[in-house]
Structure 1
Amino acid sequence: MKKQLTTIALALGLGFALAPAMAADAAMSKDAYKAEKEKIEAQYKADKKACDGMKANAKDVCGAEAKAKEK
């Protein structure tokens, strides 16, 4: 019983300790959001361009990986 109570207390403590860090990420300004979105789009375009020299299945896999990294 004491071990369970300690585990629950630890979980709650970690939850409260990490809450400000998670809230800071959620409160992104519009400018920061736009800049990050543009950065992701540029990286996707570069990754897609790197796939152009490939053929067949390798090109398909490369394109799928680029799309997955974008998300």
Structure 2
Amino acid sequence: MATDNTFMQFDPTVPLDAAFYASRRTMFWRRRPVSPGLQMLLWSLRLYVVLMLAVVVIELARVLK
């Protein structure tokens, strides 16, 4: 029966894989440039969320009256 210690001794790629994934977690990822179309889509989504929040607040005010 193999334990964790014997598995690490027989498979030398495990520490290499662990180091690779650890380095990816701490890596600094640069921002990608956002196209004008995507930027307009994101702003319209923000506007939609704000408008829907206003609708919810108005409906709650009507229900609570």
**TM-score, length basis structure 1:** 0.44
**Bigger relative contact order (CA 8 A; separation at least 6):** 1
More helix by share: 1
**TM-score, length basis structure 2:** 0.47
